[in-house]
Amino acid sequence: MSDAERKWRPGQGQAIEAMYAWVATEPDGGEGVCAMNIPALGGMVPLIGADIDRIKSLRPYAEQTREITGYPVRLVRFSAREDLEVLP
């Protein structure tokens, strides 16, 4: 399947094959998902998603996190999936 075919369109659901996150690494090695207050998106927003275009659009907020905290920030892709529970 091509990238164009994978691109989400309203009314066309697709399985999530990977999740992306902007992750900050603290000096002790601990990691955390970055989040930023983005009023246009409803307040505090974790910098995560399943669509790489959305993640790329959040890059300026990841850069702000780096500037504010001084911690390195990485774009991470998680690709293993395990369904833990299904609510019918």
Going from N- to C-terminal start, the domains of the chain cover 17-78
33 within 8 A of 22, measured Cβ to Cβ: yes
Q: Give the tens place of pLDDT for each residue, 9-51.
A: 666 767 888 999 999 999 999 999 999 998 888 899 999 999 8
Tell me the C-alpha distance between 17 and 77, whole Å: 10
Residue 16: its pLDDT value, please?
87
**Is residue 60 very low, low, confident or very high in pLDDT (cuts 50, 70, 90)?**
very high
Q: What is the pTM of this model?
A: 0.78
What is the rounded distance in angstroms from the CA atom of residue 3 to the CA atom of residue 38?
28
